[in-house]
């Protein structure tokens, strides 16, 4: 079993790709942002991140260069420790859940937990039968 908790989408997609090609056992991916978290599990026969790429927003815009003269203030709201605890608990729960493979927790306006099963996309570039490993 591999558990990953990376903080950016390109790294997450790359690890997903490597796992689909060479992985064995389960891959558990978890992530936290502000008062929300997600956890999903997959094996080589289940969906992958490329199956659900529409759910992820990619960052666009110009990055900040260290050579810029203007001062820039960026306000980043950190994730609080209890969200990390909730995420870790969901990791433990999803391992034994035989029905669902994707959990989403949203604590922004109350407590909301959604459990669902995501199926493979038959046209996925990574999961389709046309992909050669």
Place of tokens 């999961």: 127
Please tell me which of 5-14, 63-72, 110-119 the model is most confident about, judged by mean pLDDT: 110-119
For residue 102, give the nearest of 43, 29, 45, 50 by alpha carbon. 29
Q: Mean pLDDT, to the nearest integer, of 34-38?
A: 90
Question: Could you read off the pLDDT of 91-125 as tens digits, one per residue?
Answer: 999 999 999 999 999 988 888 999 999 998 888 88
Residue 64: the pLDDT is 46
| Domains of the chain and CATH, by start | 2-58+76-116 (3.40.50.720)
pLDDT above 80: residue 49: yes
Q: Note whether 55 and 46 are within 8 A (CB).
A: no
Place of tokens 């994730």: 79
Nearest-5° Cα angle at 60, 121 to 6: 60
């Amino acid at each position: 079993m591999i558990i990953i908790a990376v903080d950016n989408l390109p790294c997450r997609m790359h690890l997903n790709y490597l796992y689909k090609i060479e992985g064995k056992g389960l891959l558990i991916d978890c992530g936290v942002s502000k008062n929300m978290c997600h956890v999903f599990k997959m094996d080589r026969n289940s969906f992958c991140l490329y199956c659900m790429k529409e759910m992820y927003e990619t960052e666009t815009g110009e990055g900040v260069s260290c050579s810029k003269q203007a001062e820039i203030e960026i306000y980043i709201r950190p994730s609080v420790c209890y969200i990390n605890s909730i995420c870790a608990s969901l990791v433990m729960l999803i391992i034994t859940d035989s029905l669902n493979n994707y959990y989403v927790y949203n604590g922004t306006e109350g407590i909301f937990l959604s459990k669902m099963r995501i199926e493979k996309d038959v046209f996925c570039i990574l999961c389709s039968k046309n992909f050669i490993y």
